[in-house]
Amino acid sequence: MDTTSILIPVAIILLVMLLLWRIKNSSNGKEYSNTLLKVRQKRKGSIYADANPHAEPMRKMVSEPVVVDQPQDVPDAPDELLDLKLLSYESFQGEYKTDKTFKSLRKPHPLLMSLSKSITDAQELINIVRSDPELVAMVLNMANSPFFGLRKAITDINHAVIYLGIAQVKNLATQFAISQSFEFESAAQQEAYDKIWKTSFLASAMALFVAREANLENPSELSTRCLLCYLGDITLLSIEPKAANFYTGSTPLYMRIRGMQSLFKSNAAVMGGVFAQHLKLPKELHQGIGLSYQPLSNEWEDLDVTPEEKQSILFCYSLCRLAEYFALEADSSYARAPSLSYAITHKPELYQLNEQLEQNGLGHLNALLQSPRTKIKLSQMLGDLKKSLA
């Protein structure tokens, strides 16, 4: 028999058997794949599913929310903060008799209203300041101080606006206009006023720089707001001579508030807001001043404050604290490493601030303050201010 005629049928048979075997295995594999898919779907693909079929299944491992980068040890609120109950600006407004309280003060400077408004035109500001020769002299005197480090002396208000900018000149004029409403009898009052003046000036200058670096809207307006946040400190100091004791030393903010509320049934923020209202300053200004301590309590729910206004209050609170640690409290260790973090500084006034900054679009302020460029600039401002007031 021909060998070829035998091999061909055998090869065909083997090929058919091979095909049948492949088809069968393919069917089994498909069934296995479908079963695995069902198991994965049932377990929702969880990487935590236990390979041991007898192990107790893990419950809600995937569906429960996961908090990322949450600190393991959240520090408890400091006792100093727990012992402080912040006076409500709304209730203070309703109870305070502004006419009776402020009648002993001088009449407000006639230009204060104009200076407190938004000014974006250089000629408008020049015309306002020029109308008061004494104000011009005061602005030029400060403009030529070591704080601004100008190589060439400024001889008129036009040059001051050109070299220093609208924001700086406006703040200088505003600060001097405010000072004309007050007079101090004792040396302690005058010493306290000098420290408040220096702190408010530094706060406004720092605010202008930081707001620009942080790309915030209206840096000049934020700078002026920081300046006006100290209106209440000056008002309270003028009305209550004993308030000088809270400024001549290095008293922290929470201690100043607690002491003022105990002695005078007031604090600098609510007093400043009411006095700004008495001066007929715009509502957003007197409300912002009156609520300037609100970040200390972090109670915003019942307040009629827009998100933009809340952000402004938080920004000014942050920069005023920064200026106070530098100038009012003379904290040299803080000046070397400025921060708005309670975990780093352990300052009670900052306990709830970081959370509020993050929630209101200002979370980048801390990183900005800790940058080498900002540290150098702020340190330079503080040093130049000391020289200018020496």
What CATH number is attached to the domain comprising 300? Answer: 1.10.3210
Does residue 291 sit within a domain? yes
Tokens of 148: 């601004």
The per-residue pLDDT for 141 is 85
Candidate from 123-127, 139-143, 146-150, 152-156 with smallest mean pLDDT: 146-150
Does residue 20 sit within a domain? no
DSSP 8-state class, residue 110 = T
Rounded CA-CA distance 386/390 in Å is 6
Q: Please indicate, yes or no, whether residues 318 and 368 belong to a single structural domain of this protein.
A: yes
Q: Please indicate, yes or no, whether residues 320 and 355 belong to a single structural domain of this protein.
A: yes
Q: Please indicate, yes or no, whether residues 230 and 335 belong to a single structural domain of this protein.
A: yes
pTM of the model: 0.75
| Residue 184 near residue 237, CB atoms below 8 Å | yes
Does residue 87 sit within a domain? yes
Q: Please indicate, yes or no, whether residues 260 and 176 belong to a single structural domain of this protein.
A: no
Does residue 29 sit within a domain? no
The per-residue pLDDT for 5 is 61
Q: Please indicate, yes or no, whether residues 240 and 154 belong to a single structural domain of this protein.
A: no
Rounded CA-CA distance 12/374 in Å is 86
Rounded CA-CA distance 47/80 in Å is 47
Q: Please indicate, yes or no, whether residues 173 and 93 belong to a single structural domain of this protein.
A: no
- Domain stops at, among 154, 180, 206: 180
Nearest to 116 by CA among 157, 162, 171: 171
Q: Please indicate, yes or no, whether residues 310 and 371 belong to a single structural domain of this protein.
A: yes
How many structural domains is the chain composed of?
A: 2
The per-residue pLDDT for 20 is 62
Q: Which domain holds residue 144?
A: 109-180
Nearest to 129 by CA among 147, 149, 150, 143: 143
Does residue 69 sit within a domain? no
Does the pLDDT of residue 326 top 50, yes or no?
yes
Q: Please indicate, yes or no, whether residues 239 and 302 belong to a single structural domain of this protein.
A: yes
- Domain stops at, among 150, 180, 210: 180
pLDDT per position as a tens digit, 80-135: 888 888 998 988 887 776 666 777 677 777 888 888 888 888 899 989 888 888 88
Q: Please indicate, yes or no, whether residues 206 and 330 belong to a single structural domain of this protein.
A: yes
What is the secondary structure of 133-188 as a DSSP string?
A: HHHHHHHHHHHTSTTT--SS---SHHHHHHHH-HHHHHHHHHHHHHHTT----SHH
